[in-house]
Amino acid sequence: MKVKMLTTQSGSQKGILVEGFEEGVEYDILPRLADIFLRHGWAEEVSNEVKAAPKVEDQDVPPVQKPEKKALASPAENKAEEKEVKKPLRRKRK
């Protein structure tokens, strides 16, 4: 259940962890805890109605530019890059 806190309070949703609920913030909490907050006047219920998005009229919106694709390196270039990577030295066993 969604509630908006009217005062800062603490409470536990499942009886294990005590959480802080700050004034002016909306929370989606279990109905049992929401009922306590509502009955004491510490919170008000927030409706679950979905607000319609504002209509965007056709405007001069620039087209989305796709990033340039890079050509894949040739096998010879890949080998040259591999040689640059240094491997850790191993000690010879006696």
Number of domains in the chain: 1
In a domain, 55, yes or no: no
In a domain, 54, yes or no: no
**pLDDT block averages, 10 residues each, the chain of length 94:** 94 91 94 94 85 63 68 60 58 66
Print the domain residue range for 27.
2-45
Asked whether the whole model's pTM tops 0.85, one would answer no
In a domain, 65, yes or no: no
pLDDT of residue 64: 72
**CA separation for the pair 11, 29 (Å, rounded):** 10
pLDDT of residue 72: 60
pLDDT of residue 7: 94
In a domain, 79, yes or no: no
Calculated CA dihedral for residues 24, 30, 36, 42, nearest 10 degrees:
0
In a domain, 20, yes or no: yes
Q: Which stretches of 1-94 are assigned E, i.e. beta strand? A: 2-5, 9-12, 18-21, 26-28, 43-45
pLDDT of residue 80: 55
Phi, psi (degrees; rounded to nearest 5) at 9: -140, 165
pLDDT of residue 65: 73
In a domain, 22, yes or no: yes
In a domain, 29, yes or no: yes
